[in-house]
């Protein structure tokens, strides 16, 4: 494969998407569609990939980085013109080129291997991927002569004029022999709408008696070119299905697969069960034996083994093993929940660490806090972290007991084993082993055998 290169055409305006985002950077399962195309090429594997970029150059370079090389097309004058821009860089370097539209994210490496193999074995000048069974609207029709040879691809705009139709469609993936392609590329005629169609090369090759081969894609959806939002939604559901299947085969259960939405960068361990209406997004890792959902949304987080997240939202956080959250709680970014923590319902944790075995059962808020191990955070307790201008920190020691409805006015520290009474407003530090009660709370030393949490009223 050393004498091959791949070229992805990605400089088009994608007007039919009606979007400020370049078409090829729209995401499917949280990943830009162009990445799927470049991944499939890497998986073949082909040694080098060039991407033709244009008005969207900076954004595409940011996404693909230096995993590929770039060619600039300063004006989007059509797919043929896009390919022409690669000529100065490539014509002396490679014998064959694989050209792909950047809007074909469902294409699989195996299909690319097939078309490459067929191209090499047949010695064709052009080999193109064809599909039957797609909605033909907007696609080029493959025209064959009486003996079955491909003689043209007719674009939809030209069909009426030419009066030609066919149910065999052009899938937008081609292999070319370089020594024929590069000299001919400059000869593509301008179409009526002012564009230079890459597909004109087919008729040009046929007219000079070059061998043109077609390889049928098998599953036509693999050749789906994303031209508008309906295509994008179709691709999303196919990619979701592929991702779920892969996870199921790796030991993950889905109670209702179609209502689970999993991003491409998500990893899930064996024996985890995903319940209905669950979204797991971004770069998220979920351990083994977890119960996630129903109605959970987890983004960019690490969830340890044996966790349970029910009807709750977890964002940008770490849950160590055996943590349970929900229903109806919210773990906001930069939280670290240690082993065995219980977070019940209507609780919010923001940018905080909760130590091993801590319990936060009902209606409470912990923000900008460091909470020790085996702390009990009573119903309605709040770390009052914001003074209207700045955020402040709350530190709670190990084995402390924060009584129901305690208001901890940050910055404030509550020592190890200290107790705050129900309804107390704590605006001074509470020493270790002290009991703080009242509004504002006053601290006194806890008496041996008395002042158990139950007595601190
Ligand atoms: C193209 C084919 C059509 C085929 C279909 C398969 C042509 C003329 N038509 O149509 O036969 O059935 O794909 O999906 O090729 N691009 C550039 N520069 C440009 C224009 C486009 O780089 O000036 C890129 C786009 O970013 C896109 C790809 O080329 O990734 C295809 O362009 P698009 O406009 O989607 O072509 P289709 O109309 O889908
Ligand atoms: Mg297209």
Q: Express each pLDDT in 208-248 by its tens digit.
A: 999 999 999 999 999 999 999 999 999 999 999 999 999 99
Give the C-alpha distances (Å, rounded to integers) separating 200 from 81, 129, 190, 195, 196: 11, 15, 9, 11, 8
For ligand 1, atom 21: residue with the closest CA: 12
Residue 98, number of CB atoms within 10 A of its CB: 24
Band of the pLDDT at 169, cuts 50, 70, 90?
A: very high
DSSP assigned state of 230? H
Q: How confident is the model at residue 453 (pLDDT cuts 50, 70, 90)?
A: low
pLDDT of residue 47: 87
Residue with tokens 């821009």: 85
Band of residue 162 on the pLDDT scale cut at 50, 70, 90: low
Residue nearest to atom 38 of ligand 1 (CA): 138
Distance between Cα 2 and ligand 1 center (Å) = 27
Split at pLDDT 50, 70, 90, the class of 92 is confident
Q: How far apart are CA 44 and CA 2, in angstroms?
A: 12
Per-residue pLDDT of 113-128, as tens digits, reads 999 999 999 999 999 9
pLDDT at 147 over 50: yes
Nearest CA to ligand 1 atom 31: 101
Domain at 251-456: CATH architecture: 3 Solenoid (2.160)
**Average pLDDT rounded to a whole number, residues 21-37:** 98
What pLDDT is attached to residue 156? 85
259-282 average pLDDT score = 98
User: Angle at CA 79, nearest 5°, toward 103 and 172?
Assistant: 45
**By alpha-carbon position, which residue is closest to atom 6 of ligand 1?**
172
pLDDT per residue as tens digits for the range 46-67: 989 999 999 999 999 999 999 9
- Residue 241, both tokens: 């299905």
- Do 360 and 344 meet the contact criterion of CB atoms below 8 Å apart? yes
Q: Which of 24, 225, 228, 230 has most ligand 1 atoms within 8 Å of CB, for mutation?
A: 225
Q: What is the pLDDT of residue 166?
A: 84
pLDDT of residue 456: 45
How many angstroms does the Cα of residue 79 sit away from the middle of ligand 1?
6
Closest-approaching ligand to the CA atom of 14: 1
Atom index in ligand 1 nearest the CA of residue 169 equals 12
Rounded Cα distance, 253 and 442, in Å: 53
| Helix, strand, coil tally for the chain in percent (to 5) | 25, 30, 45
3-state SS assignment for residue 344: strand
- Residues tagged active-site: 362
Q: Which ligand is nearest to the CA of 128?
A: 1
- Across the range 330-352, mean pLDDT stands at 98
Specify the pTM.
0.94
Mean pLDDT, residues 391-413: 98
pLDDT at position 273 over 70: yes
User: What integer pLDDT is reported at residue 206 of this predicted model?
Assistant: 98
Statement: residue 398 has pLDDT above 50 = yes
> Tokens 């069960």 sit at which residue?
273
Name the residue ranges covered by the structural domains of the chain.
4-223, 251-456
Which residues have CB under 8 Å from 76's CB, separation 6+? 11, 12, 13, 54, 55, 82
The separation between the first and the last C-alpha atoms of the chain, rounded to the nearest angstrom, is: 78
Task: Supply the pLDDT for residue 447.
Answer: 78
- What is the average per-residue pLDDT within 259-276? 98
| C-alpha 171 – ligand 2 centre gap (Å) | 9
Helix (H, G, I), strand (E, B) or coil at 151: strand
Q: How many Å apart are CA 91 and CA 109, to the nearest integer?
A: 25
Mean residue pLDDT of the chain comes to: 95
What's the CATH code, domain 4-223? 3.90.550.10
Letter string b/e over residues 182-219, b meaning 16 or more CB atoms within 10 A of that residue's CB: bebbeebeebeeebbbbbbbbbbbbeeebbbbbbebee
C-alpha span between 441 and 387 (Å, rounded): 18
Q: For residue 35, is pLDDT > 70?
A: yes
Q: What pLDDT score does 454 carry?
A: 54
Q: Write down the pLDDT at residue 163.
A: 60
Q: Cite the DSSP H helix spans in 278-393.
A: none
Ligand 1: lining residues by beta carbon, under 6 Å: 9-12, 24, 52, 73, 76-79, 81-82, 101-103, 138-140, 153, 155, 169-172, 197-199, 225, 227
State yes or no: pLDDT of 164 exceeds 70.
no
> What is the CA(74)–ligand 1 centre distance, in A?
16
Ligand 1 atom with least separation from CA of 9: 22
Distance 224 CA to ligand 2 centre (A): 8
Question: Which ligand ends up closest to the CA of 24?
Answer: 1
Output the six-digit token pair for 126.
């052009």
Which residue CA neighbors atom 22 of ligand 1 most closely?
A: 11
Of the pLDDT bands very low, low, confident and very high (cuts 50, 70, 90), residue 457 is very low
The residue whose CB lies within 8 Å of the most ligand 1 atoms, and thus the one to mutate among 100, 101, 153, is 101
**Distance from the alpha carbon of residue 76 to the mean position of ligand 2, in angstroms:** 14
Share of the chain above pLDDT 90, in %: 92
Which is the closest atom of ligand 1 to the Cα of 155?
11
Residue 128, classed as helix, strand or coil, is: strand
Assign 159 a pLDDT band (cuts: 50, 70, 90).
confident
Asked if residues 311 and 326 have their Cβ atoms less than 8 Å apart, the reply is yes
Is a pLDDT exceeding 70 seen at residue 308? yes
Q: Is 226 left (phi over 0), alpha (psi -120 to 50) or beta?
A: beta
CA of 156, nearest ligand number: 1
Per-residue tokens: 431? 């020493």
Nearest CA to ligand 1 atom 13: 172
Query: What distance in angstroms lies between residue 146's CA and the mean position of ligand 1's atoms?
Result: 28
Q: Which atom of ligand 1 is nearest to the CA of 195?
A: 23
């Amino acid at each position: 494969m050393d004498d091959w290169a791949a070229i992805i055409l990605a400089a088009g305006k994608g007007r039919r998407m009606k979007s400020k985002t370049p078409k090829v950077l729209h995401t499917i399962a949280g990943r830009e569609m162009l990445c799927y195309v470049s991944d499939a090429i890497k998986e073949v594997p082909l040694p080098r990939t060039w991407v033709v970029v244009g008005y969207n150059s900076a954004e595409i370079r940011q996404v693909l980085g230096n995993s590929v090389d770039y060619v600039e097309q300063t004006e989007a004058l059509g797919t043929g013109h896009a390919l022409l821009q690669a000529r100065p860089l490539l014509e002396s370097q490679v014998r064959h080129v694989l050209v792909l539209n950047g809007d074909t994210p469902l294409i699989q490496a195996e299909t690319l291997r097939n078309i490459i193999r067929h191209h090499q074995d047949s010695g064709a000048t052009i080999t193109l991927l064809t599909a039957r069974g797609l909605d033909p609207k907007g696609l080029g029709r493959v025209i064959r002569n009486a003996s079955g040879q491909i003689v043209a691809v007719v674009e939809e705009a030209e069909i009426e004029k030419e009066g030609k139709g066919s149910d065999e469609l052009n899938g937008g993936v081609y292999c070319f022999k370089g020594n024929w392609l590069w000299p001919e590329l400059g000869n593509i005629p301008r179409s009526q709408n002012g564009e230079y169609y890459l597909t004109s090369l087919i008729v040009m090759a046929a007219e000079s008696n070059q061998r043109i081969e077609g390889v049928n894609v098998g599953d036509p959806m693999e050749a789906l070119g994303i031209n508008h939002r309906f295509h994008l939604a179709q691709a999303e559901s196919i990619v979701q299905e592929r991702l779920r299947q892969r996870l199921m085969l790796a030991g993950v259960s889905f109670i209702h697969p179609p209502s689970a939405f999993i991003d491409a960068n998500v990893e899930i361990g064996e024996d985890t069960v995903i319940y209905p209406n669950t979204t797991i997004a971004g770069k998220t890792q979920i351990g083994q034996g977890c119960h996630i959902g129903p109605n959970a949304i987890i983004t960019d987080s690490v969830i340890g083994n044996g966790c349970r997240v029910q009807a709750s939202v977890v964002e940008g956080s770490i849950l160590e093993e055996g943590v349970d959250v929900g229903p109806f709680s919210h773990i906001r970014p930069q939280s670290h929940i240690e082993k065995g923590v219980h977070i019940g319902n209507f609780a919010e944790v923001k940018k905080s660490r909760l130590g091993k075995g801590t319990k936060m059962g009902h209606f409470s808020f912990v923000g900008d806090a460091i909470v020790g191990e085996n702390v009990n955070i009573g119903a309605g307790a709040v770390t009052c972290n914001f003074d209207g201008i700045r955020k402040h920190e709350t530190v709670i020691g190990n084995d402390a007991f924060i009584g129901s409805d305690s208001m901890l006015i940050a910055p404030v520290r509550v020592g190890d084993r200290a107790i705050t009474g129900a309804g107390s407003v704590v605006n001074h530090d509470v020493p270790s082993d002290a009991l703080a009660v009242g509004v504002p709370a006053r601290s006194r030393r806890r008496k041996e055998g008395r002042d158990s949490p139950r007595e601190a009223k």
